[in-house]
Homo-oligomer: A and B are copies of this chain.
Amino acid sequence: MKIGLIGTGTVGGGVVEILEQKEKEFRDFLGVRLEIACICAKSEEELAPFKAKGYTVTTDAFSMIQDPSIQVIVELAGGYEMPRKWITAALENGKHVVTANKALIAKYGHELFPLAEKNHCHILFEAAVGGGIPIIRSIQESFVGNTVESLSCIINGTCNYIMTRMKESPLSFEAALKEAQEKGYAEADPTFDVEGIDSAHKTAILASLCSRRYVDFESIHVTGITSITSQDIQNAKELDCTIKLLGIFNRVGERIDVRVHPCLISNDHLLSNVNGVLNAVFLRCDNLGPTLQTGAGAGRLPTASAVIADLVSLARRTDSGKSVPLPMGWFNKENAAKLLPMEETEARYYFRFTTRDRRGVLASITGILSENQISIESIIQKNVKDPGKVDIVVITEKTAEKNAVAALEAIDALAEISEKSQMIRFLV
């Protein structure tokens, strides 16, 4: 199988490296021949080390895509406007596509998958979600005899590293972010990760796979981790919980509930112990029950390893005659999922209120909660941080989101409340 590779960055370089390591093994052991026919990058400089090794190189992606000897385009360039054009051209030229581009799949999957289907081409994207965790293949193939009832995932390594260091060390959010940046686990501009956008792309893709419906990632509720304080982490510890940024999918009758936000997870849940840059996906299926997969969520070789798995799978399928791609037409907007509005969700809530005067305000807070039909499970007065400041932590029983939001707004309007109050949902 002849491959046209676009992108010579971290993952692209990793794919070339693994193919050099294992190409002979694939040939001898699997009878699969994977050959990089051409490598494309933006500049001659980026291509120079590959040219020096004898690879055919180009800076013209479209001419490579039109090369009739190439059967599959591997897109590892990042961004999405150019990849969208390249992949459209590849599919129109009858070429299969392997990509690690979650933003592209989340944003333009609804036009690319129907096009692939029309042209009898595969788009494989195991590397796009969870790096080395084979979650796409698991949902599509291994768990095919199941209906996925719910999914919770730790799907952004940057956020998980920050949350882990805030708990372990303990560091402040800012210090943990700085450490992540120094170690190369966070970008100079970390917005995309810490605001939950990357998690939303991946969660939308997983929710699509689980529901077999189009999920518009722009319609799902997203809260990042920037408002989580060391005090919240410490309070969670005292509740025998850990705070993680989760992507969540639930079936609720005919509708689905998809969201990304920090969660308090009980320490006896397997997800609570997935630390550092590791990712994890916890699924609950009708026949299988609960399953968890964890592994590297990003990085050169783990992500490249997922691309290689897609390439080997494609080669094995296409080598044995015509190959019918898995139906992905449900990424089509006409097949959109009905999303449960956030205000209709329910959870147990952790509230943290900061006040100057505990005695006066407690009656007001509990009054507002009561007016909003919120039952209190426990109240903890926390140690004073600054002189004259008191934290009050309230854990609620199961509450409707709209009531929680209304109560929080009313409490934040009290004169005695000195900072914006915190609200974090429990996983269960």
Contact = CB atoms under 8 A, between A and B. Distances in A.
A79 interface: no
A141 interface: yes
Contact of A145 (B133, B286, B304, B316): B304
A134 interface: yes
B304 A132 contact: no
B305 A285 contact: yes
A56 to B, nearest CB: 22
A146 B295 CA distance: 14
Interface stretch (A61-69, A195-203, A322-330, A362-370): A322-330
Nearest to A316: B324
Contact of A29 (B287, B323, B327): B327
Interface in A50-100: none
A18 to B, nearest CB: 5
A305 B292 contact: no
Given A133-B291, A137-B141, A146 B320 contact: no
Contacts of A286: 301
Q: DSSP majority for the A interface? A: mixed
Interface stretch (A236-244, A306-314, A382-390): A306-314
Given A287-B301, A321-B321, A308 B29 contact: no
A357 interface: no
Contact of A288 (B22, B132, B322, B327): B132
25 contacts: A14-B287, A26-B144, A30-B144, A30-B326, A31-B327, A126-B142, A134-B141, A134-B142, A141-B309, A141-B312, A143-B309, A144-B308, A145-B304, A145-B312, A270-B273, A270-B274, A273-B273, A286-B301, A287-B302, A289-B302, A290-B295, A317-B317, A320-B321, A320-B323, A321-B322
